[in-house]
Amino acid sequence: MERTLPAPSNRHRHLLGIEGLSPEEIGEILDLAEGYVALNRQAEKKRALLRGRTIINCFFENSTRTRTSFELAGKRLGADVINMAVAASSMRKGETLIDTAMTLNAMHPDVLVVRHPESGAVQLLSEKVDCSVVNAGDGSHEHPTQALLDALTIRRRKGRLGGLVVAICGDILHSRVARSNIALLNAMGARVRLVAPLTLLPAAIERLGVEVFHDMEKGLAGVDIVMMLRLQSERMHGSFVPSSREYFHFFGLDYDKMRAAKADAFIMHPGPMNRGVEIGSEIADDIVKSLIREQVEMGVAVRMACLEILNRDPANRQAQ
């Protein structure tokens, strides 16, 4: 999409959330990512687009797939990628988030990819540095690249996003994945349902333009996509569910509950999965219905697209 921004424009120097992106901007990222899916399936995967650029992965919270896929994405585009294990570094010695940001900034990176346990921390950091910042998940707020990779996965399988009915099920309360997906799916004209026990839903969530259900059978009736979420015990202080076994009985996905969905409905999960808690092992591995492994593949392509757009010369930066 060709679009020039009014100069001087700093619009979307960062990718902090889906909130604020237009459907055209989302579409541009997905279209660009399609090309990278093809590239990633070739033996020779390397491009020189970001040669000379430096990307620092700065994860204040554990991550396997997100960190690895940002690293691969950067390397496949020719950038130098450094991984900072922040938990083991100066933060332990009492350095503040902003001090860490200023230290990294002094090394002239081009992109900081940041994950942090506090909602809003990544935005705060982005205000203190000169480079682009990508939010790789902040508390229970946003995880934009996850929503983008989910959208790419759905669009490739269903041919569109508009008009689809997507059920997001489980621990909505603690989920940045849910928030980013609600924003993206609504922007693209899909209908979003949330299925969860009352204790795992934020107050007044209906205001985000979703339908709320407390029963899997009703919530999954006729849906195109069933997106399961991990029960995020590490963010729970106190008891939100009676027991994992009871949780699985009422809210865990198995073939029986899946019968309510459309016959050609797909299953998704951002990972890591708690098998036997929010999802049955067998259905998670179903080679026809489950897109969980495909989501991981799409993650690399989407992150390459985002890194490409953020590294465009500001004068040529379009639709970001």
- Binding of residue 176 to ligand NCD (CB under 6 A): yes
Catalytic residue among 12, 143, 257, 317: 143
Closest distance to ligand NCD from the beta carbon of 112 (Å): 17
235 as an active site residue: the answer is: no
- Binding of residue 181 to ligand NCD (CB under 6 A): no
Given 123, 126, 132, 146, the residue binding ligand NCD (CB under 6 A): 146
What number of CA atoms fall less than 13 Å from residue 113's CA on the CB side? 29
66 as an active site residue: the answer is: yes
CA distance 109 to 129: 10
Closest distance to ligand NCD from the beta carbon of 17 (Å): 13
CB nearer to ligand NCD: pick between 66 and 311: 66
- Contact present, 110 and 51 (Cβ < 8 Å): no
Q: Measured over all CA atoms, what is the biggest interatomic distance in the chain, rounded to whole angstroms? A: 57
Closest distance to ligand NCD from the beta carbon of 177 (Å): 5
Place of tokens 């921004």: 5
The Cα-based distances of 61 to 100, 108, 117 in angstroms read 15, 23, 6
CB nearer to ligand NCD: pick between 279 and 305: 279
Residues 6+ away with beta carbon under 8 Å from 311: 49, 50, 53, 110, 111, 132
- Binding of residue 144 to ligand NCD (CB under 6 A): no
Residues 269-288 that bind ligand NCD (CB under 6 A): 270-271
Residues 6+ away with beta carbon under 8 Å from 159: none
Contacting residues toward ligand NCD, per CB under 6 A: 65-66, 137, 143, 146, 176-177, 230, 232, 270-271
